[in-house]
Amino acid sequence: MNKRFAVLLALLVALAAVPAPVAADETRSGGTVVVEEGETVSDDLNAFGGTVIIRGTVEGDVTAFAGNVFVNGEVTGDLEAFAGNVRVNGTVTGDASVAGGNVALEEGGRIGGELEAAGGNVAVDGEIGRSARVGAGSITLGPTAVVGGDFLYDGDVDRAEGARIDGAVREEPDLGLDVGVTGPLVPNWVGAVYGFLVNFALGAVALLVFPRFSAGVTDRAVSDPFRSAGVGLLLFVEGPILIALLFVSLVGIPLGLLGILLYGIVLWVGYVYGAFALGSWLAGLADDASKWVALVVGLVVVSLVGFVPILGGLAQFVVLLLGLGALAFGGRKRYGGRGETESTM
């Protein structure tokens, strides 16, 4: 087990160290990346950091990955940003594709092309030259908001008096956003089937390669679901915070990128284990002890529940927390217990 984990970790580190091809001619990284007022970047800019601030001018596209992305100056090309918070109160001449916990186009800010935004909260108080496609839990159109084309949305919208939309306003529950957060625009059942197959493949690998560990994780989730979910919630919240701290220093950025990859893998594994635990409980009610039946039943039920508006997503989130917490307990028991045993020898 230790050798397999070491090999996997070495592969992940090697992959993270290989630079991905980017179109930007200039790359900046660090705790805080700033294009100062009066400064002009005469090409595309690729920025990684705890905070990315554009106060000056970028004569090209900006691609930013950071804890915070603030555009106070001018971007003459397109903006692509993935961050905890994205705020635009300057000018983006081209299109903007942004994703974050909070996304804001402030009063006085302008996006000349189209806006695609996904986030927990999206607020528009500035001007969008063309259409907007927004998916978020909370969407706010302020009194100074201007949308020059259609406004397509998925989420709860609060539109203030005075907000102007020149095109159609339409809710699209299957809104597809190409911002690295949601998938392409396809029917829900296609995504559900694909998700089931991928999750089943991961679950099958876990059951075949780590049968005893998987059984232990499932037993923990079924026997103590509330404690497992509580620990899962703690890990779910703390993970992004710890990763964000790595981006504060230049040295920590590679570790931060690796942390994002590992965090995503852990969430995925935790989700599959949570579904497996649910399936084991349901199969137990029918006196069926087959682990394969449990895996299939759990994944099918979780996939079907996902079609229920609001409650479906909440149920799937609970399944994730359940599996994540049980996974943490299983890892602690396996490796922590081994360490304690070795220390007493």
How far apart CA 85 and CA 100 sit, in angstroms, is 5
Residue 324 maps to a domain: yes
- The reply to whether 141 and 40 lie within a common domain is yes
- The reply to whether 45 and 152 lie within a common domain is yes
Give the best-scoring range by mean pLDDT among 23-27, 167-171, 260-264: 167-171
Whether pLDDT at 35 is above 70: yes
Whether pLDDT at 321 is above 50: yes
- The reply to whether 138 and 196 lie within a common domain is no
- The reply to whether 195 and 307 lie within a common domain is yes
- The reply to whether 167 and 192 lie within a common domain is no
Could you report the per-residue pLDDT of 199-242, keeping only the tens digit for each?
A: 899 889 999 999 999 988 989 998 989 999 899 898 888 888 88
Domain that holds residue 288: 188-343
Whether pLDDT at 338 is above 70: no
Q: Residue 176 has what pLDDT?
A: 63
Could you report the per-residue pLDDT of 65-80, keeping only the tens digit for each?
A: 877 899 999 999 999 9
- The reply to whether 192 and 261 lie within a common domain is yes
Could you report the per-residue pLDDT of 264-278, keeping only the tens digit for each?
A: 889 889 999 999 999
| Mean pLDDT taken over the chain | 81
Could you report the per-residue pLDDT of 148-192, keeping only the tens digit for each?
A: 999 999 888 999 999 999 999 999 877 766 554 333 333 445 556
In percent, the amount of the chain with pLDDT more than 90 equals: 37
The number of distinct structural domains making up the chain is 2
Whether pLDDT at 14 is above 50: no
CB atoms within 10 A of CB 200: 18
Amino acid of residue 225: P
- The reply to whether 123 and 199 lie within a common domain is no
Q: Which domain-ending residue is among 138, 171, 204? A: 171
In percent, the amount of the chain with pLDDT more than 70 equals: 81
